[in-house]
Copies of this chain bind each other. A is one copy, B any other.
């Protein structure tokens, strides 16, 4: 099985950050992404522990290791203090030709 060794970066944020994130993700080197509307639930501070946010986005992009690092760094540096988390993990992706 000939696959491309890539990383998936998933970013979860409030919906109002979506357009800015999409623009940044493409500018930092990703070639595409998937965007899903999701609900968020959880601890944004003790008093809101059971608060349900309708209107979050979950953006997922398949990128090489360099772009993955760049995306995580960008989130830390340029979205500081905003409602956003991001995580990255290794995957094997196909078709390989799309990722070269």
A contact set with B: CB distance below 8 Å:
1-3, 6, 8, 12, 22, 26, 30-44, 49-50, 56, 58, 60-62, 69, 72-73, 75-76, 80, 84-96, 98
- CB neighbours (8 Å) of A6 from chain B are 87
Known: A34-B38, A38-B35, A89-B90. A3 touches B72 (CB 8 A): yes
Count of chain copies: 3
User: Is the Cβ of B58 less than 8 Å from the Cβ of A32?
Assistant: no
Main secondary structure of the interface of A (DSSP, over half): strand
- CB neighbours (8 Å) of A91 from chain B are 87-89
Q: Besides the contacts A3-B72, A26-B49, A75-B95, what 8 more A-B pairs have beta carbons closer than 8 Å?
A: A26-B43, A30-B42, A33-B41, A58-B60, A85-B94, A87-B93, A87-B94, A89-B91
